[in-house]
């Protein structure tokens, strides 16, 4: 299987490298030439446009930031879909709204191209260990065709149901992470008001039964989210907004998890 990869950031870059090292014929494209420089000494080829990458690939993996970024690289005369051949597959590793995935799938179907959503969790370190979590939605047979590629950087690879299921799952994951941030921040503020040094309390809680990945992130940044906000604030805001629209469309109440997530977003100055 020939693989194309777009989105060579802190998570996508290591994923692309694992695919290359796994022996798959790989083509890369990036908006900035500097993003391609780390792959100059590898077996990877580079494309001059997303369309050229699409023409050279049986599977195109996208790990760009947001919904509009997905559309930008896929659509138009220079987009991936303009170059892909019938029978090709697009895997959307980005965390986007499930409606975006379904929109892409409709447009791709016109060219005989299949789409699965495959958002990921774990970050660069998990990729390096081959332990990234991939949440897959879409046709199971198509997902199985992609599994050997995903397995170069991921374990487990979980198929969750129809198209969009992977995105819903990832968005719920990020919603709960944001809520965990909010709960941790509220607890640290309470402790501080009761005379417990904030940094010490954060370290103790992180080592006990109250620990969480969110609390660990707060500890790394000295007991606050000042350092985390510029890195994750806008992304978590996007995902909590997506979660809210999904819940509203389904006609289900938001629940406590949104209330606590809003605490974190407001503290980071990225209110929903």
Catalytic residue ranges: 170
Contact 189, 228 (CB under 8 A): no
Per this entry, what is the length of the chain? 272
Measured between alpha carbons, how far apart are the two ends of the chain, in Å? 41
Buried b (16+ CB within 10 A) or exposed e, 80-107: bbbbbeeebbbbbbbbbbbebbbbbbee
CA distances from 201 to 183, 257, 270 (A): 14, 23, 25
What SS3 state is found at 207? coil
What is 6-34 written as a DSSP string?
Answer: E--STTHHHHHHHHHHTT--EEEE-SSGG
DSSP tag of 236 = H
CA distances from 141 to 62, 112, 116, 136, 159 (A): 20, 15, 11, 12, 10
What is 100-120 written as a DSSP string?
Answer: HHHHHHHHHHTTT-EEEE--E
Burial of 118 per CB tally in 10 Å (0-12, 13-18, 19+): buried
∠96-117-111 over CA atoms, to 5°?
Answer: 105
């Amino acid at each position: 299987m020939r693989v194309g990869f777009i989105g060579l950031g802190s998570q996508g870059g290591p994923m692309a490298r694992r695919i290359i090292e796994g022996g798959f014929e790989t083509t890369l494209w990036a908006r900035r030439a500097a993003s391609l420089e780390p792959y100059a000494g590898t077996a990877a080829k580079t494309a001059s446009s997303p369309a050229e990458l699409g023409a050279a690939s049986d599977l195109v993996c996208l790990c760009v930031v947001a919904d509009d970024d997905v559309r930008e690289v896929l659509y138009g005369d220079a987009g991936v879909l303009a170059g892909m051949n019938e029978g090709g597959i697009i895997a959307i590793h980005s965390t986007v709204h499930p409606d975006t995935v379904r929109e892409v799938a409709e447009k791709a179907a016109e060219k005989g191209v299949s789409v699965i959503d495959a958002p990921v969790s774990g970050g660069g370190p998990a990729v390096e260990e081959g332990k990234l979590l991939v949440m897959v939605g879409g046709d199971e047979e198509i997902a199985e065709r992609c599994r050997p590629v995903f397995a170069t950087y991921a374990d487990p690879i979980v198929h969750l149901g129809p198209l969009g299921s992977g995105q819903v799952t990832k968005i719920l994951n990020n919603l709960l992470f944001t809520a965990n941030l909010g709960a941790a921040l509220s607890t640290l503020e309470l402790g501080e008001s009761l005379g417990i040094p904030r940094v010490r309390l954060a370290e103790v809680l992180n080592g006990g039964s109250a620990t969480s990945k969110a609390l660990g992130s707060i500890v790394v940044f000295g007991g606050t989210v000042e350092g985390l906000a510029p890195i994750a604030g806008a992304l978590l805001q996007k995902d909590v907004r997506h979660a809210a629209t999904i819940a509203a469309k389904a006609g289900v109440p938001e629940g406590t998890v949104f209330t606590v997530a809003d605490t974190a977003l407001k503290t980071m100055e990225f209110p929903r």
